[in-house]
Structure 1
Amino acid sequence: MAVQSKELLEIAVTAADEKKAMNIVALDLQGISLIADYFVICHGNSDTQVNAIATEIRKRVHEKGGIVRGIEGMDSARWVLMDLGDVVVHIFHRDEREYYNIERLWSDAKVVNL
Structure 2
Amino acid sequence: MEIKEVLQLAAEACNDKRAENIVALDMDQVSLVAEYFLICHGTNERQVQAIARAVKEKMDEHDIPVKRLEGLEQARWVLVDLGDIVCHIFHKDERTYYNLERLWGDAAQVSLAIE
Normalised by the length of structure 1, the TM-score is 0.95
| Distance (whole Å) between structure 2 residues aligned to residue 81 and residue 33 of structure 1 | 17
Question: Does structure 1 residue 100 correspond to structure 2 residue 105?
Answer: no
Matches within 5 A, 1:27-106: 27-106=25-104
> 2:29 touches 2:107 (CA, 8 Å); kept in 1?
no
> Residue 75 of structure 1: SS of its match in structure 2?
coil
> 2:36 touches 2:84 (CA, 8 Å); kept in 1?
yes
Aligned length: 112
* Identity across matched positions, percent: 53
State the 1:38 CA deviation.
Answer: 0.4
| Distance (whole Å) between structure 2 residues aligned to residue 74 and residue 88 of structure 1 | 15
| Distance (whole Å) between structure 2 residues aligned to residue 55 and residue 28 of structure 1 | 23
State the 1:43 CA deviation.
Answer: 0.2
Partner of 2:20: 22
Q: Could you tell me which amino acid in structure 2 is paired with residue 103 of structure 1? A: E
Unaligned stretches of 5+ residues in structure 2:
none
Q: Could you tell me which amino acid in structure 1 is paired with residue 47 of structure 2? A: Q
The ranges of structure 1 where at least 4 consecutive aligned residues each deviate by more than 6 angstroms after the TM superposition are none
Unaligned stretches of 5+ residues in structure 1:
none
Q: Could you tell me which amino acid in structure 1 is paired with residue 80 of structure 2? A: M
